Structure 1
Amino acid sequence: MCRVLWPLCIVLGLGACASHHDTHSMMVNVVGIDTLPGDDLELRLAVKLRVQNPNDAPVQYRGVALNLDVNGRPFATGVSKRTGAIGGYSEQVISVPMSVSAFSMLRQALAVNDLLSLEGLPYSLRGKLADGLFGTTRFHDEGILDFKGPTPP
């Protein structure tokens, strides 16, 4: 029995390697943040992501999960059962609801003495577009949250 199964496993494994093609990681950028109605001491946000697929094959997803860190500390989390596909060499804007607890807001407020004097706060966004066990696409974006706005000419 082992003489039959071993070669079969090797052939299937080589076939899987041969079918694996070079893929580039998804490009994800935060393009907007809107407020949503919240409960009691909870802040709710709708984070808009521009997801770009630099591959020729479409990416299917059946859920989105996000973690947002601000100033090196956990700030907000969010999940959505949203489903869809991002075609090859195309992009899509996805909105994901996120929750910020009162403790996260308090922790950030205590860590920042004077928001007006800051050039901005660093953020890091980690997430995934989920499509089953092997179809999950992970992504990461980071940058600076700018509080001063554009400089007048």
Structure 2
Amino acid sequence: MRRFFVLILVCLSLSACALWPNRDPLAINVVGIEPLPSQELEMRFAVKLRLQNPNETAIDYNGVALDLEVNGRPLASGVSDQRGHIGRYSEDILVIPVSVSAFSVLRQTLGLSQTQTLDNLPYVLRGKLAGGLFGTQRFIDRGRISLSNPDAW
């Protein structure tokens, strides 16, 4: 009887996984960075992201978190409790405040080699749109930035 019960549970678990809709990943692009009022040992920026939803279902979110690495080292992080809706086959611009500590800038500076410039540095932006128990959408964006030319963002 116990084996039969375990077999039923396994079958139900497998069939439940098949009911989850397949979703394509969100397309994320950094479209801008603007300075915000800062404190003594930190800098604050508003990171603007364009999120594109290539799915047949809308995405509702109730929180955003970001982590930004530049040149393989953590540089900035931010969170926001903003709520929103990205319709099916639609896009939206999100603005998320991030903080950069003086220690992060120091780590970045010490990590640069003498021959390396502030042009064409690799970055990785990781984040998530919170959407309830199973609705959280994680995303990642990779690219290259020029810190000596802020207009390159």
Q: TM-score range by the shorter chain?
A: 0.7 to 0.9
The number of aligned residues is 150
Alignment of 1:50-129 (within 5 A): 50-112=50-112, 117-129=117-129
Tell whether 2:36 aligns with 1:32: no
Separation of aligned partners in 2, 1:83 and 1:5: 42
Partner of 1:46: 46
3-state DSSP class of the match of 1:76?
strand
In structure 2, distance between residues paired with 1:92 and 1:30: 12
TM-score (norm 1): 0.84
Range 3-12 or range 89-98, more displaced: 3-12
Q: Please tell me the root mean square deviation across aligned C-alpha atoms, in Å.
A: 2.6
Q: Which runs of 5+ in 1 are unaligned?
A: none
Cα distance in structure 2, aligned partners of 1:120 and 1:29 = 17
Structure 2 unmatched runs, 5+: none
In structure 2, relative to structure 1, the CA distance for the partners of 1:14 and 1:113 (3 Å cut) is closer
Normalising by structure 2, report the TM-score: 0.84
Q: Once the two structures are aligned, what percentage of the paired residues are identical? A: 51
Measure, in 1, the Cα distance between the counterparts of 2:100 and 2:52: 26
